[in-house]
């Protein structure tokens, strides 16, 4: 099936209109007409070859929301006409221990990612959500709950689950003190989700200009990390820190903000991490990384967001502005997520 898309042909090329082939709908497949596709910062890294594993031509996009237009004969999860989503994965081996536990993102064979990857045959390239249609095996589709604004729902399939998962892993609950480091695409979702879980949320930012937004999103406190006094005033305060920053920063200072047995979860991707062992040993503090969630946890996140009416703050753009959006993202000129109107592709 021929499908319109936007792709880049090389790391030094802009994205442009392109045509791809989607497979015909098999017995366990779902065909989705894409309505909105979010732009993740990782799309830029991949499209520009910055992580060293880029495959071209590349159609980025792993924050997909659309309407089901066809289903295979054995599909039971979705029906034609229903709303569906696709996140960062489109398949896995489904037989290894992590897959059996609902952690398909840790598939021992390696999952098939939504783009810049291959299907599980390890030959057929995968193309992402900057396109009009996608065909995905039923297991890796998500049901979109009623009542959520679709354009703001698309980023939940990456930014939402990336921040929801560590909050759940560390049992965020009412009364916990949670600090969110960095207010961007990930950080604004972390604030919303932690506040909805009942936590007392502090926004930790280098920019005073983010203070009003932080309060609007649900933060009860704001602190400037550009001021050294902040790390003295807030020392030992937090149960959990969600670190969304992808620029170099001093982990030792942030770990000092944790209470004994507190945890810091890293979801941003800085070029390197440096810390002194005593930053963990003193207070038995924990430092962890957190990836996306599996399909079960992602569906749970969507239901939670529907219950609390949480979506991402977005700027919807036509496809012709994708390259402009990339440049603006590199300048932090978006609050807080770009979403492509797929009808313009």
Residue 339 reports pLDDT greater than 90:
yes
Confidence of residue 177 (pLDDT cuts 50, 70, 90): very high
Residue 170 reports pLDDT greater than 90:
yes
Name the residue with tokens 């810091």. Answer: 264
d(CA 210, CA 203): 9
d(CA 87, CA 65): 9
CATH code that applies to domain 160-289: 3.40.50.720
Max distance between CA atoms of the chain, in angstroms, equals: 63
Mean pLDDT of all residues belonging to the chain: 97
DSSP state of 225: T
Mean pLDDT of 146-158: 97
d(CA 335, CA 130): 20
Per-residue pLDDT tens digits for 217-254: 999 999 999 999 999 999 999 999 999 999 899 999 99
Cβ 293 vs Cβ 265: under 8 Å: no
Q: Where are the domains of the chain?
A: 2-157+312-344, 160-289
Mean pLDDT of 139-159: 97
What pLDDT score does 237 carry?
Answer: 98
Per-residue pLDDT tens digits for 311-332: 999 999 999 999 999 999 999 9
Determine the topology of domain 2-157+312-344 in CATH: Quinone Oxidoreductase; Chain A, domain 1 (3.90.180)
d(CA 173, CA 135): 37
Per-residue pLDDT tens digits for 6-46: 999 999 999 999 999 999 999 999 999 999 999 999 999 99
Residue 271 reports pLDDT greater than 90:
no
d(CA 224, CA 229): 9
d(CA 14, CA 322): 9
What pLDDT score does 172 carry?
Answer: 98
d(CA 150, CA 306): 11
Mean pLDDT of 89-110: 98
């Amino acid at each position: 099936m021929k499908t319109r898309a936007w792709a880049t042909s090389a790391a030094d090329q802009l994205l442009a209109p392109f045509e791809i082939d989607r497979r015909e709908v098999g017995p366990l497949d779902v065909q989705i007409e894409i309505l909105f596709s979010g732009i993740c910062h990782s799309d830029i890294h991949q499209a520009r070859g910055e992580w060293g594993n880029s495959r071209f031509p590349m159609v980025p996009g792993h924050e997909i929301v659309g309407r089901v237009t066809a289903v295979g004969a054995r599909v039971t999860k979705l029906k034609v006409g229903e709303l569906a989503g696709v996140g960062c994965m489109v398949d896995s081996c489904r037989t290894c221990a992590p897959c059996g536990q609902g952690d398909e993102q840790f598939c021992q064979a390696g999952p098939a990612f939504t783009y810049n990857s291959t299907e599980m045959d390890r030959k057929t390239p995968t193309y992402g959500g900057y396109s009009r249609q996608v065909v995905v095996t039923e297991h890796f589709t998500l049901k979109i709950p009623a009542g959520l604004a679709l354009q703001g729902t698309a980023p939940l399939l990456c930014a939402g689950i990336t921040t929801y998962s560590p909050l759940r892993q560390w049992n965020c609950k009412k009364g916990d003190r949670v600090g969110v480091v960095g207010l961007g695409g990930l950080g604004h979702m972390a604030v919303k989700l932690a506040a909805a879980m009942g936590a007392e949320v502090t926004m930790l930012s280098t920019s005073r200009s983010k203070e009003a937004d932080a309060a609007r999103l649900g933060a009860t406190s704001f602190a400037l990390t550009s001021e050294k006094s902040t790390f003295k005033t807030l020392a030992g305060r937090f149960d959990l820190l969600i670190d969304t920053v992808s620029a170099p920063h001093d982990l030792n200072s942030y770990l000092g903000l944790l209470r004994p047995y507190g945890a810091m979860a890293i979801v941003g991707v800085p070029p390197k991490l440096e810390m002194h062992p005593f930053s963990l040993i003193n207070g038995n503090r924990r430092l962890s990384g957190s990836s996306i969630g599996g399909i079960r946890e992602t569906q749970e996140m969507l239901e939670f967001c529907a219950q609390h009416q949480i979506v991402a703050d977005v700027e919807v753009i036509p496809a012709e502005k994708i390259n402009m959006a990339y440049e603006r993202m590199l300048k932090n000129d978006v609050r807080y997520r770009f979403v492509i109107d797929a009808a313009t592709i």
